[in-house]
Amino acid sequence: MSCFEFHSKKINLKTNKAKSGIMVVFKRKNPKYPTGKLLGIPYIKSYKYLGTHLNYTIRISDHLDEIERKHKFIKRSLMPLLMKRHHRLNMNLFRILVVPSFRMVGGIYSQLTDSDQRKVDTLNRRLFRDFMLWPTSTPNQTVHDIIG
């Protein structure tokens, strides 16, 4: 860190320690996560970077939870409009308001484990069905053909 501060001062950049954090990344399942601060900067367990929520194990679960929370808020806000059942409008609203959250995963999708990739795909289909007000019994192939 002192190297970072040295070079920052060299080019007249100041570190805002109140808005900064250090996230240590682990590959183990149950790591001993550091606590406290390093040079006045706290350790953090999760971080939002370019709209993608990451945690210290680099699992996608935090981001998927955030997508689901955002979907519920959008659906609740638009429910009177969605209830009119204009399928093309509902589909366009889903693509405009919800799909961008999934696109944030696109950059790391190929690096995810198979189970995480299945979680992303399953959540995408489930939220689309829910947004379109379709029954959960709608075949996966039908949903896949529509959303691509």
- pLDDT by 10s per residue, the chain, length 148: 567 777 778 888 877 777 788 888 777 666 677 888 877 888 888 888 777 777 777 778 888 999 999 999 999 999 999 999 888 999 999 999 999 888 878 777 888 889 989 999 999 999 999 999 999 898 989 888 888 7
pTM value? Answer: 0.72
What local confidence, expressed as pLDDT, does residue 8 receive? 78
**DSSP secondary structure string, 62-103?**
HHHHHHHHHHHHHHHHHHHHHTT--HHHHHHHHHHHTHHHHH
